[in-house]
Structure 1
Amino acid sequence: MDLFVHRKNLVRPKNVNAEETPKYVLSKEQLDYYDKNGFLVIKGLISFECLYTVKKRFLQIVNGLEDVGFMTIIKEPGLAEKGAKGQDVINKINDIHFDEEFSSYSEDPRLLDVVSQLIGESITVVHCMFINKPAGTLRHPPHQDSNKFLFYGVSEEAAAERSRVALPMEPGDTVFFHPLLIHGSGPNVSKSSRKAITCHYASGECRYVSVEGTDQETVAKEVETAAKKKKNLDISFKDSWHYKNKLVRGTKSNL
Structure 2
Amino acid sequence: MDRLKVVTSHLRRPNDVTAGSITPYPVSASLGHHQNIQYVLNKNLLLSPQQCESYERDGFLVIRDLVKSDDIDRYCARFRGICNGTVKVPALTIMKDVSIAKSEFVVGERAITKIQDFQFDPVLFEFCALPQIVKYVECFTGPNIMAMHTMLINKPPDTGAKTSRHPMHQDLHYFPFRPAERIVCAWCAMEKVDRSNGCLVVVPGSHKGELQEHGYPQWEGGVNKMYHGVLDYTPDQERVHLEMQKGDVVFFHPLLLHGSGTNRTQAFRKAISSHYAASECEYIDVRGTSQQTIAEEVDEIVKKRLGSEVDFNFDDAWRIKGKLVHGQQINL
Following TM superposition, by how much is the alpha carbon of 1:161 offset from its aligned partner in structure 2, in angstroms?
4.4
In the aligned structure 2, how far is the partner of 1:201 from the partner of 1:75? 25
Q: Do structure 1's residue 16 and structure 2's residue 41 form an aligned pair?
A: yes
The corresponding residue for 2:248 is 173
Counterpart contact for 1:142–1:182, Cα < 8 Å: yes
Counterpart contact for 1:45–1:173, Cα < 8 Å: yes
- Which deviates more, 69-78 or 218-227? 218-227
Following TM superposition, by how much is the alpha carbon of 1:151 offset from its aligned partner in structure 2, in angstroms?
5.6
Residue 56 of structure 2, aligned match among 29, 32, 35: 35
| Deviation per residue, 1:68-121 (Å, 9 max, x gap) | 322111111212333233211211001012211001111111001001011211
Which structure 1 residue ranges, 5 or more long, are not aligned?
1-11
Q: Do structure 1's residue 138 and structure 2's residue 164 form an aligned pair?
A: yes
Counterpart contact for 1:126–1:245, Cα < 8 Å: yes
- Which deviates more, 71-80 or 216-225? 216-225
Counterpart contact for 1:13–1:178, Cα < 8 Å: no
Alignment CA distance shift 1:189-1:144 (3 Å): same
The corresponding residue for 2:317 is 240
SS in structure 2 opposite 1:198? strand
Which structure 2 residue ranges, 5 or more long, are not aligned?
1-36, 176-225
- Which deviates more, 168-177 or 235-244? 235-244
RMSD, aligned α-carbons:
1.9
Q: Do structure 1's residue 188 and structure 2's residue 263 form an aligned pair?
A: yes
TM-score (ref. length: structure 1): 0.87
The corresponding residue for 1:26 is 47
In structure 2, what residue type is equivalent to 1:201? Answer: Y
The corresponding residue for 1:153 is 229
The corresponding residue for 1:47 is 68
Alignment CA distance shift 1:168-1:130 (3 Å): same
SS in structure 1 opposite 2:305? helix
| Deviation per residue, 1:119-144 (Å, 9 max, x gap) | 21111111101000122261011110
1:32-111 mapped onto 2 (5 Å cutoff): 32-83=53-104, 84-111=106-133
In structure 1, what residue type is equivalent to 2:330? Answer: S
In structure 1, what residue type is equivalent to 2:39? Answer: K
Alignment CA distance shift 1:78-1:244 (3 Å): same
The corresponding residue for 2:214 is none
In structure 2, what residue type is equivalent to 1:127? Answer: H
In the aligned structure 2, how far is the partner of 1:76 from the partner of 1:213? 31
In the aligned structure 2, how far is the partner of 1:64 from the partner of 1:37? 41
| Deviation per residue, 1:43-66 (Å, 9 max, x gap) | 111111210111010000001111
Identity %: 41
Q: Do structure 1's residue 112 and structure 2's residue 189 form an aligned pair?
A: no
TM-score (ref. length: structure 2): 0.68
The corresponding residue for 2:276 is 201
The corresponding residue for 1:228 is 303
In the aligned structure 2, how far is the partner of 1:240 from the partner of 1:108? 24
In the aligned structure 2, how far is the partner of 1:186 from the partner of 1:111? 26
In structure 1, what residue type is equivalent to 2:229? Answer: G
In the aligned structure 1, how far is the partner of 2:97 from the partner of 2:119? 22
In the aligned structure 2, how far is the partner of 1:143 from the partner of 1:161? 15
Counterpart contact for 2:171–2:254, Cα < 8 Å: yes
Alignment CA distance shift 1:38-1:13 (3 Å): farther
Counterpart contact for 1:142–1:159, Cα < 8 Å: no
